[in-house]
Amino acid sequence: MLSSRKYNFPEGEILLIDKPASWTSFDVVNKIRYMIKHHLGIRKIKVGHAGTLDPLATGLLIVCTGKATKQISGLTGMDKEYTGTFYLGATTPSYDRETAIDQTYNIDHISANLIQDTAKKFVGSIEQIPPAFSAVRIDGTRAYKKARKQEDVKLSPRQVDIYEFEITRTGVPETSFRVLCSKGTYIRSLAYDFGKSLNSGAYLYSLCRTRIGNFSIEDAISIQDLGKEMILMQQNS
């Protein structure tokens, strides 16, 4: 639903964007920068996002413009909530659907009770290794660039906090979940480790970020609707 809000992008806006699947976070930033220039004639404008979402993921992406870009570092540190689905019985090199399945595992022993009990093991402070296909830098190079060239990628474990890990549907092979976690948590790594703890394998099949701090996906706007609001601003100016 379109609003009559008038944005002041140079002075600074914090935009809640509902990122579509297959878009990178930088695709969203670049599109918003283009729309501001094209629809409103603002040639020089700073635009940045506060926390990357993987291309296959959907949901809440905070985008800051103008003077509000100074707030990005503070916004990235907030807790995050996700919902999604794990696919049990297989793994992929990227820990999600970006790459093809590289190994399959037995799932005959996996029950609803085992899934629920396994989820409890991950609540609290845990160590996890980021996926090789991630934006973590290795000697100045993003890990995913090395991984896509099939170079050896070695990443150190890091501590993250899982505040809530709720299994919302105990299906096999697809199990759905909701996670509330700290900054820096990789849900793809959680999927991989969850599969190992089941004495099987798992990868992230779908993911939606539903909350960042007190910002909710329910208050987010699509890229298309944001563009339409800019056109209305242009027409009414």
Structure tokens at 152: 């050896």
50-80 b/e (C-beta count within 10 Å ≥ 16 → b): bbebbbbbbbbbbbbbbebbeebeebbebbb
CA dihedral 25, 133, 73, 215 (to 10 degrees): 60
Give 138's Cβ-side CA count (13 Å radius): 17
- Residue 54 designated active-site: yes
Catalytic residue among 18, 54, 96, 193: 54
Distance, in Å, from the CA atom of 88 to the CA atom of 109, rounded to the nearest integer, reads 12
d(Cα 133, Cα 96) in Å, to the nearest integer?
10
Q: Identify the burial level of 161 via C-beta atoms within 10 angstroms of its C-beta, where 0-12 means exposed, 13-18 middle and 19 or more buried.
A: middle
Would you name the residues annotated as active-site residues? 54
